[in-house]
Amino acid sequence: MNQTKRKTIIAGNWKMNKTASEAAELIDGILPAVQDACCEVVICTPFTSLVTAVEKCKGTNVHVGAENVHFEKSGAFTGEISADMLVDLGVEYVITGHSERRQYFAETNETVNKRTRAALAAGLKVIVCVGESLAEREQGVTEELVRLQTKIALKDVTAEEMQRIVIAYEPVWAIGTGRTATSEQAQEVCAAIRKVVGELYGSDVAEATTIQYGGSMNAANAQELLSKPDVDGGLIGGASLKPDDFGAIVAAARQ
């Protein structure tokens, strides 16, 4: 984590958890737990909790994000949500390319790119997720795969827009499994992502881009993961639903 060159960001991904009323209660727990944060704190909630989250987080140090966005501006896309709809609610961030979207909802590198560009065009900040499966890691293609995912996700994204891009390295085998990447593995792949960003945009942009690690990050392992020079924060699933654990991860980002 290099706080002199880039922002450290700890973001929660609530996935499909919490009704709007439960979200209000959870946010009441999170706000005091993270109020002394030295880093940026984001909570990404289901669409149905966004209004509540935006309202509750107004005037606090917690930023609100969505978990997905459609790439078209409007039209006959039943069940989808556009970037303008999120912006209108006061939402600031959105996640694209989460592995659960890729795995269960046929998300491809190309649609991740389309969603990312649509979100940027509407003024959102985007947390773009990349990461290899266990089979890909065992086949020794992690770096190639993550390079490819990063390059396609960022196709036609400008250097200026990169100021609103965060990349989350999330090994699929570590998400929700309790099996965390070692800090060396996280560092190695985050550094490889920074290298590809440098090839695409130059070293100034690469050095300024926040690259998070995500995958079973918790109160116990956060400090070690965040101690690595290219790990600039975390995308947190399960532990983001527990105020004390999320608060401890945020606190670990200050050390």
Q: Catalytic positions, please? A: 98, 170
Q: Of 124 and 235, which has the nearer Cβ to ligand PEP?
A: 235
216 lies in the binding site for ligand PEP (CB under 6 A): yes
170 binds ligand PEP (CB under 6 A): yes
Among 13, 96, 142, 221, binds ligand PEP (CB under 6 A): 13
Residues in contact with ligand PEP, total (CB under 6 A)?
14
* Site for ligand PEP contains 32 (CB under 6 A): no
Is 83 near ligand PEP (CB under 6 A)? no
- Helix (H), strand (E), coil (C) string for the chain: CCCCCCCCEEEEECCCCCCHHHHHHHHHHHHHHHCCCCCEEEEEECHHHHHHHHHHHCCCCEEEEECCCCCCCCCCCCCCCCHHHHHHHCCCEEEECCHHHHHHCCCCHHHHHHHHHHHHHHCCEEEEEECCCHHHHHCCCHHHHHHHHHHHHCCCCCCCHHHHEEEEECCHHHCCCCCCCCHHHHHHHHHHHHHHHHHHHCHHHHHHCEEEEECCCCCCCHHHHHCCCCCCEEEECHHHHCHHHHHHHHHHCCC
Q: How far is the CB of 169 from ligand PEP (least distance, A)?
A: 10
Closest approach of Cβ 18 to ligand PEP, in Å?
14
Q: Kindly identify the residues of this chain, within the stretch 220-249, that bind ligand PEP according to CB under 6 A.
A: 235-239
| Least Cβ distance, residue 88 to ligand PEP (angstroms) | 26
